[in-house]
């Protein structure tokens, strides 16, 4: 299967800042600024930056990445 051929790959795919902001806006609407946020694939930090721009305090965000 084609999908499985990249299972062990460490290729990087970055989220556009505009997409991250749209997604983060919806998440913050649902859970509020005081929720704890986990970003398991931090990459360049688009989602983290979007959350912070929406008023989420950095200490409410935990981000990880396989290749920081």
How far, in Å, CA of 3 to CA of 11, rounded? Answer: 13
- The pLDDT, as a whole number, for residue 4 is 52
Task: Name residue, tokens 């935990």.
Answer: 62
- The pLDDT, as a whole number, for residue 57 is 98
- pLDDT, tens only, 2-28: 555 555 566 777 889 999 999 999 999
How far, in Å, CA of 31 to CA of 42, rounded? Answer: 20
Residue 21 structure tokens: 């902001």
**Cα(first)–Cα(last) distance of the chain, in Å?**
29
- pLDDT, tens only, 27-65: 999 999 999 999 998 888 999 999 999 999 999 999 998
- The pLDDT, as a whole number, for residue 43 is 87
- The pLDDT, as a whole number, for residue 35 is 98
Judge residue 37's burial from the number of C-beta atoms within 10 Å of its C-beta, 0-12 exposed, 13-18 middle, 19 or more buried.
Answer: middle
For residues 49 and 26, the answer to whether their CB atoms sit within 8 Å is no
């Amino acid at each position: 299967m084609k999908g499985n051929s990249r299972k062990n790959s460490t290729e990087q795919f970055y989220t556009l800042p505009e997409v991250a902001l749209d997604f983060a806006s919806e998440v913050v609407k649902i859970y509020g600024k005081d929720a704890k946020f986990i970003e398991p694939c931090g990459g360049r930090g688009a989602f983290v930056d979007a959350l912070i721009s929406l008023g989420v305090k950095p200490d409410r965000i935990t981000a990880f990445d396989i290749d920081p």
